[in-house]
Chain A
Amino acid sequence: MDGTPAPIPGRGNALHRFANPGRFMRFSGAVLPWLALAGLSLSVIGLGWGLVLAPRDWQQGDTVRIMFIHVPAAWMAMGGYVGLAIASFVGLVWRHPLADISARGIAPIGAVFTAICLITGSLWGKPMWGTWWVWDARLTSVLVLFFLYLGHIALSNAFDDIERAARPAAILALIGAVNVPIIKFSVDWWNTLHQPASVTRIGAPGIHVDILQPLLVTAMGFLFVFAALALLRTRAGILERRARALMAARAAEPAAAAATVTA
């Protein structure tokens, strides 16, 4: 137990080779600064473009600028949950600690982007729909997504032994994954105040290129920010795990540790 979770002996399969925490630390350490830089610059460019240069909508006026933060945040909220579900599945099936650690890292990021989506949606709904909130399918299913993230965070921290929390949290994440297609298709399946998809529509997007461009730049920026935060939080999780292992080793050998400290 030296904290470096070695591959299970005698099982040097591809997953364990590539998802080795030591290798992950080297790889993520090299990639992280560039991801963060790309995320920051693309987000600033995209949001500034949307605020200043993009034309106002002929129906919605300047409130359409809320879209440049609302829609990318919504994409991250849903994409992040898919990532959480995949990490949870890998953690459940292959019992890989890196998958559990990354699931723990992803959930708070997804929760923040979902909160941004809900808050900006409310701020957009008030002037355009005349209400901050309606209990319709799209809004309610995104609120459920937010509570799924919060539930995952709460469950992950509900055990004294963090490793034991991974399994119930992963099961919650996988059960909650049914909600993702419900969110996606809620605007088609039910009558709702929320407009249907206009960017990802089959065929030509339903919005003008002058508005689409800053939207996509911001979305790329948010994606890189999400990835950078996920790597950073996973790195922190690996180090915390190593610290716990070192503490456990020291507790197991107090005499030896004392001897080496005084030596």
Chain B
Amino acid sequence: MIDSGFWAMGGHAAYVWPSYAIGVGLIVALAVASWRGYIAARDDVARLEAESPRRRRGQQGS
């Protein structure tokens, strides 16, 4: 499988590896940004609900 020529990709390493690195990198970056946005929104709601206790109903967030 992974012989000595694997990383060389038949001479096309300069095209194959950046494709995978950029593809995976962009998806991971989007996932991290989306997760951070979700956590920030969740914390905002939790804080605001804690500050106005009479509205602490409708437990739709987690």
On A, residues with C-beta under 8 Å from B are: 2-4, 21-22, 25-26, 29, 47, 51-53, 56, 61-63, 65-66, 69-70, 73, 108-109, 112, 115-116, 119-120, 123-124, 126-127, 225, 229, 232-233, 235-240, 242-243, 246-247, 249-250, 257, 260-261
Contact = CB atoms under 8 A, between A and B. Distances in A.
Contact of B19 (A21, A25, A26, A119): A119
A65 B15 CA distance: 10
B38 A232 contact: yes
B23 A69 contact: yes
B26 A52 contact: no
Given A61-B10, A63-B15, A257-B52, A239 B41 contact: yes
What secondary structure prevails in chain A residues at the interface with B?
A: helix
Given A116-B22, A225-B27, A2 B55 contact: yes
A73 B15 contact: no
Contact of A246 (B9, B10, B45): B45
Interface residues of B, number: 40
Given A236-B38, A257-B52, 12 more contacts: A26-B60, A47-B20, A51-B16, A52-B1, A66-B19, A69-B23, A119-B22, A124-B15, A236-B34, A236-B37, A237-B41, A246-B49
Nearest to A4: B58
Nearest to B48: A246
Given A52-B1, A260-B52, A239 B42 contact: yes
Contacts of A237: 41
A40 to B, nearest CB: 9
Contact of B60 (A22, A109, A116, A246): A22
Contact of A116 (B27, B41, B49): B27
Contacts of A29: 62
